[in-house]
Amino acid sequence: MRSGTMRLQDFWERMREVFGPLADSFARDHVMSDLGGRTVMEALADGADVKDVWAAVAKDRDLPYF
């Protein structure tokens, strides 16, 4: 991570760290209100900022933002 931005690679590393082998399933299937009723995959495909998507995941799962 650099200068307050998050790279997509960093995002997926965090997802795998938190969710293990279920990271892809969570990203594909779990709808979150903070993502406008979209999944992680939908939000990323729609061009949402990776940092904002991670913030939504962290909030939804009560994770530290780290």
Report the C-alpha dihedral over residues 51, 52, 57, 59, rounded to 10 degrees: 110
pTM given for the model: 0.87
Q: Report how far residue 8's alpha carbon sits from residue 42's, in angstroms, rounded to the nearest whole number.
A: 14
Q: Please give the chain's pLDDT, 66 residues, in tens.
A: 344 578 999 999 999 999 999 999 999 999 999 999 999 999 999 999 999 999 999 999 999 876
